[in-house]
Structure 1
């Protein structure tokens, strides 16, 4: 069993080192277990290269079944943790959405559904629904998630925003050219999407890239950190409306220039097909759809 587990992890990562980190053993131990398995089966499972390993064709064919078998065992043993988790909703999402959108609204869900307990797992990594015991996930993307059932929760836009105190100190920003007087705050969390404008693209589209130096200012890897920096007067942020909505409504941030640019990506509710119609999942999904619809001033029709 240990040898099979070592092979499955190494095959999934195509790396003995990554498998060793996952299993909390040394790479040498992983290599030993796999050699033992190869000797037992009489089959070569990996081609050893200078600085990496590569699955053989025969090993690649058996990997999906072996992974499914381990996932099934994990799911079965999870029953021992709580024999009845029909009241629990395990939700995976990115930290900025959890902090700025989901958590501030969660009390309303608790009032409407007091019999359910929501457990939020916030991470920038995509969750493995079965391995990580996730019931549903809120993902920011284009809705293409093979093997999952998805519903669009929220479209998004991007807009410049500043704290009222910063504008009081340095004067109003009445046109994009006025940004030359301010520091810029950069949200680097969406660098993976070339269609999402950063300050450089936004200033170019506004025709002021020769006036405003887009290279200036502080950079943040999380969107909520960039928003907090803008709230604290560090500079003007190019904010996503979805996570800046409450700060704008409460007056901590002020939108500038009355222009918003739609993004190509949206927030999506995703779950595995076998859970899509479970009452707890339906309740949480429909509540999120209703919350998003209310925020945009429309009526959710189901």
Structure 2
């Protein structure tokens, strides 16, 4: 291998890869914080060093030559390999066990369907997920991170806002048809309401329905009637079977709404006063594995937003 040639051309090769990606010296310059003329100069110098042209300069158009296409293919493949190897080397330093707690409904409906991506990115971190509805005593329990739904009231702990939430009534399409619910929220008066028994700490089983009915101005509907379950997805599951109308948290029922297993008969979603939070101690939040999980969770939330 001619290391002298490679060493001389490395700066130009990076510039070439960027220009080839955008097929524009101007856009390459913007990406590299260089002027268009500086990019053009580097490419010409690289072509002189290599002894062949990389681009055809057409009117208002930049086209790769055959030699340019071959070189770009090799460079792009090499850059992908380098990027993957750097990521692997960085992540091999992030390892150990992580003890996480979250509510059963959030864990099963939102978190676990996504965790394989985290495990692939951080193969040396081993997760121990435990579901619960009560709060963690961090001073007495070996928990690294808790994911809470409720109010951000955790003095002495590190609290990171995670996701907001919206709530809306959901049911099966057949139930909406039978009860003439489409666009008629007042028809809820003749429906069976399905509740999460404790949507957040110290809440009553009817708290979510009461909040939504107040938002909708339906103060004459009995929000205390119906059935309650100790997990939100159980209420949604019965709703899918035509058992009534559940109060769905959009983050948790989005997949069922998209598949048609559930429908939202009213275009009236209400922003919940509760949100999702990541909670840890100051000491544990500074560990690389907790930081990696928090960063990944926030990225997942942004993708769903």
Q: Name 2:262's counterpart in structure 1.
A: 253
Q: Name 1:277's counterpart in structure 2.
A: 286
How far apart, CA to CA, are the structure 1 residues paired with 2:243 and 2:225? 12
Please list, as runs of the form range in 1=range in 2, the aligned pairs for 1:7-86 lying within 5 A after superposition: 86=95
Selected match of 1:123 from 132, 147, 153:
132
Alignment length, in residue pairs?
A: 210
Offset of 1:172 from its aligned partner? 4.6
Selected match of 1:198 from 208, 211, 214:
208
How far apart, CA to CA, are the structure 1 residues paired with 2:159 and 2:214? 35
Deviations 1:251-300 (A, max 9, x none): 2211231111112221111111112221111110011001111111xxxx
Offset of 1:193 from its aligned partner? 4.1
Offset of 1:209 from its aligned partner? 4.0
Deviant stretches of 4+, over 6 Å: none
- Do the aligned partners of residues 93 and 198 (structure 1) sit closer, same or farther apart at CA in structure 2, a change above 3 Å counting? closer
Pairwise CA RMSD: 2.4
**1:105 partnered with 2:114:** yes
- Structure 1: tracts of 5 or more residues without a match: 1-84, 297-302
- Structure 2: tracts of 5 or more residues without a match: 1-93
TM-score (norm 2): 0.62
Selected match of 1:186 from 185, 195, 198:
195
SS in 1 for 2:153: coil
How far apart, CA to CA, are the structure 1 residues paired with 2:263 and 2:97? 38
Q: Is the 8 A contact 1:173 1:179 kept in 2?
A: no
- Do the aligned partners of residues 88 and 256 (structure 1) sit closer, same or farther apart at CA in structure 2, a change above 3 Å counting? same
TM-score (norm 1): 0.63
SS in 2 for 1:255: coil
SS in 2 for 1:100: helix
Deviations 1:206-237 (A, max 9, x none): 34443x44343212232222122212221011
How far apart, CA to CA, are the structure 1 residues paired with 2:135 and 2:224? 30
Offset of 1:126 from its aligned partner? 1.3
**1:114 partnered with 2:102:** no
Deviations 1:103-125 (A, max 9, x none): 11111211222221111011112
Deviations 1:72-98 (A, max 9, x none): xxxxxxxxxxxxx94211101111111
Q: Is the 8 A contact 2:179 2:187 kept in 1?
A: no
Selected match of 2:244 from 235, 239, 248:
235
